[in-house]
Structure 1
Amino acid sequence: MTSATMNPDVLREPKSASRAGVRGLARLDIQGGGQVVVQDGYAYVGHMRPPDGTSIIDVRDPAAPRIVAQIPPPSPRSHTHKVRVVGNLLFANVEQDRRHFLRKAEGIAPAETQLRDDLGRAPSEAEIAGKLGVDTDQLADLRRELDDPYDEGGFRIFDISDRAQPRLLVHRRTGGVGVHRFDVDDRYAYISTEMPGYLGNILVIYDIADPTAPQEVSRWHMPGQHVGAGETPDWEGRRTRLHHALREGDTLWAAYWHGGAVALDISDIRAPREIGRYNYHPPFPEPTHTFLKLPERIGGRDIAVMCDEEHDHIPGQPHAFLWVMDVGDPAAIKPISTFHLSTHESPYARAEGRFGLHQVEEVVRGTELHAAWFSGGLRIIDLAEPERPTEIGHYVPEPLGDHPAPQSNDVAVDDNGVIYLLDRDRGLEILEREAP
C-alpha cells in the first residue's frame, strides 16, 4: 500500500523573488500538491496528480525535511490531493483525475444527435471531436470513459501510528467523480462529494467512531441539486456546488462555489439546517473556495473570512481576493472589508499561471492569517482591525524547474510558528518569521 522513494533534493538556502519579514529554512523539491497539514513534527502532502498520492514528511528538524512514506492513489485514474490527520488517522480524498476533461464524455451523444440533424448523415469522429472542442485522439479517451465509468471516488482512512508504514483501514466509496476537499474531527467527517441523483458536490456527514466502517449520518444540498428527486437548478452546469465545509462549534461554514457562502446549524448532526447565506455571484466572477469562522472574537465581533479562488481571470474584473465578514448573526451575514493584492506585489503576476488568492491556513491563531496567493506566494495578513486588513509579511518563491511562476496553493503553520507553503506545480517551502 505504501512505497518508499529516494528523498528529493533539499535546498538549504531557498531563494525568494520577493520577501518581507519571512525567510526560507528549506525547500523540498517534490511534485505539486493540493493540501498540506502539519501535526506532531510531520507534514502531510496530498499531491495533484498520479502516480504521486500522499507524502508523509518528517519535519521535526524543519531545515532538513525527509520523506518517510508515500501512499499511491488507488489507481492511475484517481488523484488524492487533499489530506487531513486526526491523531493516528490519516484521511485522503479519492477523486477522478482529469475529471473536468473526462466530463466531456457526457456530451458525445448530444453532439452526435445535433450533428446528424444538421448534416443529414452520421458525423465523422473528427466532426464529433470538433463539436466537443477536443482532438480526435482525445475522443477515444472519452469513449473509453463511457465504456468503463469511474467508480473509485470516495475517501480512504489510514492508520499512521507507524508513520513509515501507513496501513489502509477502509476505502469508502461515494459517487460520481468522488470527494474534493473536506473537514474531519475526532468523531465526524464532513465530506464534499458527488452522489448519485445530485448535480455537483453536496455535503455528506459520516460517523467515524469506527474508522474501519464510516457510517453516513446526514446530507445537505442546495435546493436544485437533487435532480434525481425532480429538483431543477436555476444555474448552469455544476456552478453551484459545495467546495468544502468547516466546523466551528455547532455550525458548518460552507463554501458553495458560485452559490456563495452558507452557514449550517448541525446541533442535530442528523439534520443539518441552513441558517444563513451570503452570495455575491454576480457581480464578482471568482467562486467561493473557503468560508472560515475565526475561533476568537476580534473587537467584540464574530469574524469569518471568505476566500475566492482565482480561475481563468477575466480582463477588467478583480483578481480573486479575501473577504472579511461579520457573522455574529448568521441570518444576516455582512461584509466588513476586503483585502486585495496588487499585481505590482509579485514579479510573477503577469507570468503564465494564476495570480489571485486560493486558500488560507485553516487553523488560525490570534488575528493573523497566512494566505496562499498563487503567483503572489505567501501573504501574511493581520485582522486586528477587521475594517483594515493589513499585510505584515510575505514570501514569493522562485519557481522550480521550467515552471514560469510559483503557484502557491496551500499553507499550514505548526505549533512553533514554522510555515509550510505548498506549490500546486512543484515544491514545498518551509519558512519562518524573522524577528522584527
Structure 2
Amino acid sequence: MCASVVVSCPGSANAQEQKIGAPPEAVNMRLVGYNDLQGRSAYQPTIHHQGNRYIAYIGHHGGTPEVPKPMNSLTGQPEFNGTSIVDVTDPAHPRFLAHIPGTPGNYEEGGSQMTRVCDGKNLPKGDPSKTYLLRVFGGKSHQIFDVSDPAKPQLVWERQGELKDTHKSWWECDTGIGYLVSGVPGWRVNRMTEIYDMSDPAHPVKIRDFGLPGQEPASTGPVPEQLHGMISLGVQANRVYFGYGTNKGGAMQIVDRQKLLNGPKEPTPENLRYPEVGRLTMTPWNGAHTTFPMLKMPIAEFAKDSEGSQRDIVMIVDEQIRNECQEPRQMAWFVDVTIEAHPMVISNFQVPEASGNFCSRGGRFGTHASNESMAPVFYKKVAFLSYFNAGVRA
C-alpha cells in the first residue's frame, strides 16, 4: 500500500474480479479522501486527536531498488522512507505536513514502520503542552519525537546501542510504560521485549527484558517463535497480551502486568514464566500477529445464564506471507480467555476465496492485522481487518 485512504461506510456493491482500469470494489464502504504519501509504502498509521485537529502518523517500509529515496516534495530532497505526518482533520482533503526520514534499506530492511503517540498531559512526567511520537528507527533503534507542532518534529530521545530488529511496540500513555519490540544482542531471537519507564519521554529508564523461556541468552534446546507485538490493558485490567509467531508456530501469551513490571528481572526460565497466567499454543500453520483484547463481552445467547453471560475475548490475527495462496490460509481467530489458564478458540473469520477469485489475482490473500483502537465508537462492536488483495474488511 503506497497511500493513505479514508473511508466511510454507507452504500453497497458486489465484489467482482479485478480488471485493469476498473473502479475500486466496495461493499458498505466508500473512498472519502486520499494522499499519495510521496509514493512511500505505508504500514502502521496512528490517528491522534491533537488540539482541534486529527493527525495521522504513518510508518513506512523501506524503499525499493528502483526508488530507494523518494523525493520529499516539501523540502525538495530525496529521503529514505521513515514517518509521514498528515493532517486528516478534513478527511476529504488530507494535508501532508512533514516526513521524518528513516534508516537506509529496502522493504523490511529500512524505513520506520511503527508509530505510537501520547500527549504530555497524560504522561506522569511529560510536558503538558507537548505531544510525543514513539517510533522505531528501522531495525536498529527506537526514538521519541516532540510533535507538538506536527509540521516540525524534534528528536528528544534515541535508544543507544544497535539492535538486531524492532517491530510493533506499545506505549501506555497514562503510566508511561513502554513495551518495545527489540532484538537485544545475546537473545536467541531477533524480536523480544524491552520494557521502559517512558513517563519522562526525554529520559526513559529501562525496567527489564522479557520473552518466552528458550529465547533468553545462554538457553539451549528449541527456540520458540519470536515476538511480533503486544497490547497492554494497563493498570486496571492488569494484563498484557503478547503475540508470537507471525504466521507459523504461534502463541498468545497472557501476562500479569504487575508481576511483569515488579517481579524478578533476570531473564532466567523461572523468572520469564513467573508473570504468565495463560498461553494458547497455536498450530505450526498459524501465528499470532495481533492479539486484540475485548474483555467483558456480553454474549446475547448466554444472557439468561447464571454464569458466563459475559466473556473475555481476544481476537488473534495472523499474517499471510506468500503470494497466491502458496501456504496455509491465515485468518482472524476469536479466543475465549475468560478462564485464563485455558484459552479456547471459539470461532474464526475469513473471506471466501471464491467471492473474488483472490488466489489468482496476484499478491497475498489472507489476513494481516486488525485495528487496535479502543475508542468506544467501534470497540467491541466492529473490527477492521487488513486483508491484502481482498482489501479492508469490517
Is 2:118 the partner of 1:86?
yes
CA shift digits 1:198-234 (9 cap, x unpaired) = 01111111000221121111222111112x32x1141
Is 2:30 the partner of 1:23?
yes
**Quick check: 1:15–1:24 contact (8 Å CA) kept in 2?**
no
TM-superposed deviation, 1:319: 1.3
1:293–1:16 distance in 2 versus 1, CA, 3 Å = farther
Q: Residue 368 of structure 1 aligns to a residue in which SS?
A: coil
1:62–1:242 distance in 2 versus 1, CA, 3 Å = same
Kindly provide the amino acid, as one letter, of the partner of residue 352 in structure 1. G
TM-score w.r.t. structure 2 length?
0.73
**2:67 aligned residue:** none
Q: Residue 341 of structure 2 aligns to a residue in which SS?
A: helix
Task: Write the distance in 2 (CA, Å) between the matches of 1:75 and 1:161.
Answer: 27
1:342–1:67 distance in 2 versus 1, CA, 3 Å = same
TM-superposed deviation, 1:295: 4.7
Is 2:345 the partner of 1:335?
yes
Kindly provide the amino acid, as one letter, of the partner of residue 282 in structure 2. Y
Q: Residue 354 of structure 2 aligns to a residue in which SS?
A: helix
**1:367 aligned residue:** 381
**1:64 aligned residue:** 93
CA shift digits 1:38-83 (9 cap, x unpaired) = 0111111001115110001001100000110110015557421111
Task: Write the distance in 2 (CA, Å) between the matches of 1:292 and 1:317.
Answer: 24
Q: Residue 17 of structure 1 aligns to a residue in which SS?
A: coil
Task: Write the distance in 1 (CA, Å) between the matches of 2:279 and 2:226.
Answer: 14
**Quick check: 1:10–1:64 contact (8 Å CA) kept in 2?**
no
Greater C-alpha radius of gyration: 1
Taking the TM superposition and a 5 Å limit, the aligned residue runs for 1:122-271 are 153-173=140-160, 175-186=162-173, 187-200=176-189, 201-226=191-216, 228-229=217-218, 231-235=219-223, 240-248=225-233, 249-257=237-245, 258-268=249-259, 269-271=261-263
1:362–1:9 distance in 2 versus 1, CA, 3 Å = closer
Task: Write the distance in 2 (CA, Å) between the matches of 1:315 and 1:164.
Answer: 42
Task: Write the distance in 2 (CA, Å) between the matches of 1:275 and 1:352.
Answer: 42
Q: Residue 372 of structure 1 aligns to a residue in which SS?
A: strand
Instruction: Return the match for 2:43 from 20, 34, 40.
Output: 34
**Quick check: 1:206–1:217 contact (8 Å CA) kept in 2?**
yes
- Percent identical across equivalent pairs? 27
Kindly provide the amino acid, as one letter, of the partner of residue 132 in structure 2. L
TM-score w.r.t. structure 1 length?
0.66
**Quick check: 2:195–2:206 contact (8 Å CA) kept in 1?**
yes
**1:390 aligned residue:** none
Task: Write the distance in 1 (CA, Å) between the matches of 2:22 and 2:36.
Answer: 13
Is 2:44 the partner of 1:52?
no
Q: Residue 34 of structure 1 aligns to a residue in which SS?
A: strand
**2:102 aligned residue:** 73
Task: Write the distance in 2 (CA, Å) between the matches of 1:89 and 1:73.
Answer: 17
Kindly provide the amino acid, as one letter, of the partner of residue 63 in structure 1. A
**2:294 aligned residue:** 294
Unaligned runs of 5+ in 2: 8-20, 64-79, 120-130, 264-273, 300-309
CA shift digits 1:139-159 (9 cap, x unpaired) = xxxxxxxxxxxxxx1210000
1:60–1:255 distance in 2 versus 1, CA, 3 Å = same
Task: Write the distance in 2 (CA, Å) between the matches of 1:328 and 1:174.
Answer: 40
Taking the TM superposition and a 5 Å limit, the aligned residue runs for 1:112-123 are none
**Quick check: 1:298–1:367 contact (8 Å CA) kept in 2?**
no
- Cα RMSD after superposing both structures: 2.6
1:11–1:20 distance in 2 versus 1, CA, 3 Å = closer
Unaligned runs of 5+ in 1: 1-7, 97-152, 381-436
1:270–1:178 distance in 2 versus 1, CA, 3 Å = farther
**Quick check: 1:95–1:177 contact (8 Å CA) kept in 2?**
no
CA shift digits 1:331-350 (9 cap, x unpaired) = 11001101111112335542
Instruction: Return the match for 1:275 from 274, 277, 281.
Output: 277
Task: Write the distance in 1 (CA, Å) between the matches of 2:342 and 2:358.
Answer: 38
Kindly provide the amino acid, as one letter, of the partner of residue 184 in structure 1. W
List 4+ stretches of structure 1 deviating above 6 A.
8-12
**Quick check: 2:61–2:110 contact (8 Å CA) kept in 1?**
no
Task: Write the distance in 2 (CA, Å) between the matches of 1:202 and 1:213.
Answer: 22
Q: How many residues align?
A: 310
Is 2:394 the partner of 1:376?
no
**Quick check: 1:325–1:335 contact (8 Å CA) kept in 2?**
yes
1:19–1:297 distance in 2 versus 1, CA, 3 Å = same
Q: Residue 309 of structure 1 aligns to a residue in which SS?
A: coil
